């Protein structure tokens, strides 16, 4: 069930929107933020209220002044806002609403901002609901006909890796109901893009195949299995799929991939009815669009614009090539090891989070959290990742990034398993020293 207090807040938001003649929606630039913004866009469109949707890479206090305070009308922040609540709460010219699953700073209360936050409904924002699925729950509370918005909503939960394991919490309820309504079906398969398999293996991100460095390596691997390189996974018979899966997992294990990653190389995949599109493929496309500065194309695709598919495929391939370049660098000893963490520098902040995840899960660095940094306009963007095993031992990257960034006059936060920060460029070493210290404290506290 959708929590009663969430339904109450959603209807309060509906009353606010109906009193306005224009709404601005601002979403985060990753798959979850784009999906959440798309769900809200489609739901508000059905209310016949004019709106504008914008995608941002982050929401600093300066960004908030431009895009929120300067909006001139009601602003809905999707997958954003929880780290800048104090600044937002001072912007009282028009309503401001956050629809988010990131935990707000402890003890933060707002008098002006309406927070529709997963943690306020006793939901774990890292595992039980993404921002996009939270937006779907809001839309359903407005109108039961909005169940069809499961299509864009699923993309965010997949993009935030919440469905790698069996769905729980509000995610589970929404997915189970959508299956009962015949909107989606579930399959268990090797997690590959639908294109020719030599390309799928070469540029694979999640799962990543560390033993395959280029197209020639992918072709040789497939031919060893007895599969023509340009074959598509959907064309394989059951026996070939089993053989390919077994050898793929063996290759990952021999390269030192994290057991958690190997187990989830074969996972549930959601297929939309009636067109048979794979939700995970669309999720990767919109994530690539957002991280490539083409958030509008991602929103168009998430909202069902068939015209956007070809452009999104092209953007995605360019993005995957950037990630591939980064992984080759990391495999050639581009990683620094400290007492309690690993760190690397990369020039493109759009891919540092993905590179940190690949390093954590697939390149044998899963014994310590991984931090990637990129310099942009005098600031450093930090992305960090860890494993569920380290979270179970007490690591909380949201706390790590917040405390280390606070000490550097920066901003930080996120989830326990994945988090980020923005700090002044000269403060990188100080941030890493602080992060290393906090991780050590967290591990020691759990042992005590």
Cβ burial 273-308 (10 Å sphere, 16+ → b, else e): eeeeebbbbbbbbbbbbbbbebbebbbbbbbeeeeb
Sheet of 96-100: strand order equals 51-56, 23-28, 74-78, 96-100, 114-117
pLDDT at residue number 273? 86
Query: What band does 47 get if pLDDT is binned at 50, 70 and 90?
Result: very high
Q: What is the mean pLDDT of residues 387-395?
A: 94
- Contact between 20 and 48 under an 8 Å Cβ cutoff? The reply is no
pLDDT at residue number 395? 96
- Contact between 94 and 71 under an 8 Å Cβ cutoff? The reply is yes
pLDDT surpassing 70 at residue 419: yes
Which pTM value belongs to this model? 0.81
Q: Give the span between the Cα atoms of 440 and 444, in whole angstroms.
A: 6
Q: Write down the domain spans for the chain.
A: 4-179, 189-322, 333-447
End-to-end CA separation in angstroms for the chain: 38
Give 171-174 contacts, CB < 8 A, sequence gap 24+.
171/128, 171/129, 171/130, 171/133, 173/1, 173/2, 174/133, 174/136, 174/137, 174/150
Both tokens of 399, joined, read 């706390």
pLDDT surpassing 80 at residue 338: yes
pLDDT at residue number 108? 77
Helix axes 349-362, 279-291, angle to 10 degrees: 130
pLDDT surpassing 70 at residue 448: no
| From the candidate CATH numbers 3.40.50.300, 3.90.1640.30, 2.60.40.10, 3.60.70.12, the one assigned to the domain spanning 4-179 | 3.90.1640.30
Q: What is the mean pLDDT of residues 284-301?
A: 95
pLDDT surpassing 70 at residue 74: yes
Both tokens of 272, joined, read 């939309």
- Contact between 142 and 44 under an 8 Å Cβ cutoff? The reply is no
Furthest-apart CA atoms within the chain: distance in Å: 65
At the top level of CATH, the class of 333-447 is: alpha beta
Q: For the chain, what's the residue count? A: 448
71 or 28, which is more confident? 28
């Amino acid at each position: 069930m959708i929590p009663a207090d969430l339904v109450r807040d959603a209807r309060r938001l509906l009353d606010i929107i109906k009193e306005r003649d224009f709404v601005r929606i601002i979403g985060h630039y990753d798959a979850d933020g784009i999906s959440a913004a798309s769900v809200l866009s489609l739901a508000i469109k059905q209310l016949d209220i004019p709106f504008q949707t914008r995608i941002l890479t982050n929401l600093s206090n300066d960004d908030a002044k431009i895009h929120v305070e300067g909006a001139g009308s009601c602003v809905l922040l999707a997958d954003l806002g929880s780290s800048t609540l104090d600044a937002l709460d001072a912007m009282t010219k028009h309503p401001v609403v956050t629809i988010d699953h990131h935990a707000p700073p402890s003890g933060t209360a707002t008098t002006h901002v309406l927070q529709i936050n997963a943690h306020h409904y006793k939901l774990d924002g890292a595992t039980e609901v993404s921002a996009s699925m939270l937006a779907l729950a809001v839309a359903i509370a407005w109108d039961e006909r909005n169940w069809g918005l499961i299509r864009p909503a699923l993309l965010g939960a997949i993009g935030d890796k919440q469905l790698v394991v069996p769905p729980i919490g509000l995610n589970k309820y929404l997915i189970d109901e959508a299956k009962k309504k015949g909107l989606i079906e579930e399959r268990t398969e090797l997690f590959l893009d639908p294109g020719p398999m030599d390309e799928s293996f070469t540029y694979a991100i999640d799962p990543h195949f560390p033993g395959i460095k280029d197209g020639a390596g992918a072709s040789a691997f497939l031919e060893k299995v007895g599969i023509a390189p340009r074959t598509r996974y959907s064309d394989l018979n059951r026996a070939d799929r089993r053989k390919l899966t077994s050898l793929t997992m063996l290759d990952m294990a021999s390269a030192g991939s994290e057991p958690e990653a190997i187990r989830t190389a074969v996972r549930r995949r959601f297929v939309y009815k009636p067109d048979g599109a794979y939700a995970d493929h669309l999720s990767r496309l919109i994530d690539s669009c957002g991280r490539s500065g083409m958030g509008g194309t991602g929103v168009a695709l998430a909202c069902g614009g068939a015209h956007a598919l070809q452009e999104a495929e092209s953007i995605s391939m360019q993005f995957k090539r950037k990630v591939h370049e980064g992984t080759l660098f990391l495999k050639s000893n581009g990683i620094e090891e400290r007492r309690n963490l690993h760190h690397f520098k990369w020039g493109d902040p759009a891919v540092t989070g993905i590179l940190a995840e690949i390093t954590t899960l697939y390149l044998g660095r899963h014994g310590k959290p991984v931090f990637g940094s990129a310099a942009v306009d005098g600031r450093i963007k930090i992305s960090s990742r860890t494993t569920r095993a380290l979270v179970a031992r007490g690591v909380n990257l949201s706390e790590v990034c917040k405390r280390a960034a606070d000490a550097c006059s920066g901003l930080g936060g996120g989830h326990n398993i994945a988090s980020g920060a923005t700090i002044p460029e000269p403060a990188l070493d100080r941030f890493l020293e602080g992060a290393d210290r906090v991780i050590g404290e967290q591990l020691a506290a759990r042992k005590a």
